[in-house]
Amino acid sequence: MIDFTEEQLERYSRHILLDDVGVDGQEKLLQAKVLIVGAGGLGSPAALYLAAAGVGTIGIIDSDSVEISNLQRQIAHFTKDIGVFKVDSAAEKMQAINPDITVRTYKEYLCAANITKIIAGYDFIIDGTDNFPTKFLVNDACIFTGIPFSHGGILRFNGQTMTVVPGESACYRCSFREAPPPDAVPSCAQAGVLGAIAGMLGTIQATEALKYITGVGELLTNGLLTFDARTLTFRKINLARQKSCPVCGEEPSITHLVDAEQSVCELKSEPVAAPC
Amino acid sequence: MLRVKQEIIDEIVEHGRSEAPLEACGYLAEKDGVVCKCIAMKNIDASPVHYSMDPAQQFGAIRSCRAEGLAIRAVYHSHPETAAHPSAEDIKLAYDPALSYVIVSLEESSPTINSFIIKNDKVSSEQIEIIRAEKMTTTITADVFQNLRGIGCPMNLVKTKVAFSKMQSGQILGLILDNGPPINNVPRSVIREGHEVLSQEQLDDGAWSLLIRKA
């Protein structure tokens, strides 16, 4: 049992007061480890809220530096941070909100070669990446290691998210077999994105992480939540685990991690794990 | 002297009232010199001015008393409309000089109860001593105590929840809470979480002292 300091009691009082979270839930949060993949549009709000919530160890991985075009939606980064590594910029804000927590930064591009080592030991992963190859890589690695994660994506006015508990619920590949061909789907850099929807989706992902850690409520598993900000319409599409799933099905064809092909133009313009 | 437990007095009065306007009757049984059982009998006369017991029911009552280690100590009956004194007929029908004859009068709003010994048509009054159950004054002591004087909402509730988190189910938390919002809010919240507020009393300085059992 953690002996909360007076400062911690005040800091986390609104969690402790919640019947379903309480002292036990806050203790779980302080002991939890969450990895955020991508310090961009989705990763920024998720990182700030998880830090504020007192998630004891937060890892954040991104190989990019802050650019001025990021600031319209990547709220962990300020104008002064242009040129700074995104993970350093995000870590500074997280520690400023809550010096109580430990932030681990990874200035790397997540790929098949390093993902297993990086995600090991984390309780939950937030996928805030901006590209399909990495999304599938995160899914497959989480299935192999049994780490639950929240998938998220945004484009233009739309967002989508689902939570995957490996071995229990539908995985990303159960519904989306493989990454679309390079350039089949435009990136944020090409199609644009309404800045605030990054906050809408990233905070849903943070909420799922907090729910998973504290055991409150029901996770967004076996369902894809989508929204269209223009009409502010939310839909929840029911999904089910597929026996034929190439990674979590009965006879998986994917048995080891590989890096999918990445669009060449994307690699140039918006390098790798930089999320929208 | 007839020594009777308070609750038996209450039963006699209750029986009398339930039968009114007819007379009610029954036996009082004792153990260790104290009447501790009231055996309501049927008044087969079904009359407002006299009573008779059913002999078969009388034997049954005596048998069950013996089985329970009790002894018949008195006969009681009610006077729905008259004073608690034996009528001429009561005296005439008082066959057993070893028993006391208890009469409850319901003519006034607060009932009167008297006991008599009747020997050879001679009536003498018998004093009744009412035995009250010992007052239950078990002192509950807190396993954990928190003085939350001067601590406002919601930190007082936060500290209460932290205290509970370190306690076992069934243990007692003693709390001092300020008057005003603290006493209005904290007990309500702990009750909602399933804990039991055992006592709550205001102290001289206006603050409140509570004992709460952890769920």
Indicate the domain borders of chain A. 32-269
At A185, is the pLDDT very low, low, confident or very high (cuts 50, 70, 90)? confident
Nearest to B14 by CA among B78, B95, B82: B78
Q: Which residue of A has its CA nearest to B193?
A: A19
The model's pLDDT over B12-54, given as tens digits with 9 standing for 90+, comes to: 999 999 998 999 999 999 988 889 999 999 999 999 998 999 9
Kindly tell me if the per-residue pLDDT of A270 is higher than 50.
no
Enumerate residue ranges in chain B where pLDDT < 50: 136
pLDDT band at A269 (very low <50, low <70, confident <90, very high): very low
Residue B28 near residue B73, CB atoms below 8 Å: yes
User: What are the tokens at A59?
Assistant: 């890892």
Q: Three-state SS for A212? A: helix
ipTM, two decimals: 0.79
Exposed/middle/buried for residue A134 (C-beta within 10 Å: 0-12, 13-18, 19+): buried
Identify whether the C-beta of residue A60 lies closer than 8 Å to the C-beta of residue A39: yes
Distance CA A161, CA A134 (A): 15
Reduced to 3 states, what is the DSSP secondary structure of residue B113? Answer: strand
CA distances from B143 to A110, B171, B209, B211 (A): 53, 6, 14, 10
Residue A218: pLDDT over 50:
yes
Q: Residues B25, B36, B38, B153: which is the catalytic one?
A: B153
Q: What residues have CB less than 8 Å from A138, skipping those under 6 apart?
A: A37, A110, A115, A125, A127, A129, A149, A151
- What confidence score (pLDDT) does residue A117 get? 97
Looking at chain B, which residue has its C-alpha nearest residue A9? B158
| B175: three-class secondary structure by DSSP | strand
Answer with the residue of higher pLDDT: A262 or A131: A131
Mean pLDDT across chain A: 93
Question: Which of A10, A13, A23 lies closest to B165 in CB terms?
Answer: A23
The answer to whether B38 is a known catalytic residue is no
Which of B94, B88, B74 is CA-nearest to residue B33? B74
Sign of CA dihedral A82, A87, A91, A94: positive
Say whether residue A6 is in contact with chain B using an 8 A CB cutoff: no
Q: Cβ contacts of residue A237 below 8 Å, gap of 6+?
A: A223, A224, A225, A226
Residues 16-55 (A) with a CB less than 8 A from some CB of B: 16-17, 19, 22-24
Q: Return the CATH number of the domain spanning residue range A32-269.
A: 3.40.50.720
The pLDDT of residue B134 = 61
Return phi, psi of residue A174, to 5°: -60, -35
Residue A259 contacts residue A133 (beta carbons within 8 Å): yes
CB A172 within 8 A of CB A135: yes
CA atoms of A129 and A61, how far apart (whole Å): 10
Cβ neighbours around B47 below 10 Å, total = 12
How would residue A266 be classed by pLDDT, with cut points 50, 70 and 90? very low
Query: Given a cut of 80, is residue A245 above it in pLDDT?
Result: yes
Asked whether the beta carbons of A225 and A209 are under 8 A apart, the reply is: no
- Phi and psi angles of residue A142, each rounded to the nearest 5 degrees, phi first: -70, -40
pLDDT at B120: 85
Separation in Å, CA B5 to CA A107, B34, B72: 85, 7, 15
Q: B161 and A22 in contact by Cβ < 8 A?
A: yes
DSSP string over A2-34: ----HHHHHHTHHHHTSTTTHHHHHHHHHH-EE
Q: Output the CA angle A133-A137-A142, nearest 5 degrees.
A: 155
The residues, ordered by sequence, that sit 6+ positions from B48 with a Cβ below 8 Å of its Cβ are B21, B22, B23, B80, B81
Q: Is B28 left (phi over 0), alpha (psi -120 to 50) or beta?
A: beta
Q: Of B193, B123, B179, which Cα lies nearest the Cα of B151?
A: B179
Domains, chain B, with CATH or none: 2-131 (3.40.140.10), 144-213 (3.30.110.40)
Can you tell me the distance from the alpha carbon of A11 to that of B107, in angstroms, rounded to the nearest whole number? 70
Residue B68 sits at φ, ψ, to 5 deg, of -90, 5
By Cβ distance, the residue of B155, B166, B192 closest to A13 is B155
Of B155, B165, B193, the CB nearest to A10: B155
Mean pLDDT of A5-16: 96
Give, for B67, the enclosing helix (H) or strand (E): helix B55-67
Contacts of A16 in chain B (CB under 8 A): 158, 161-162
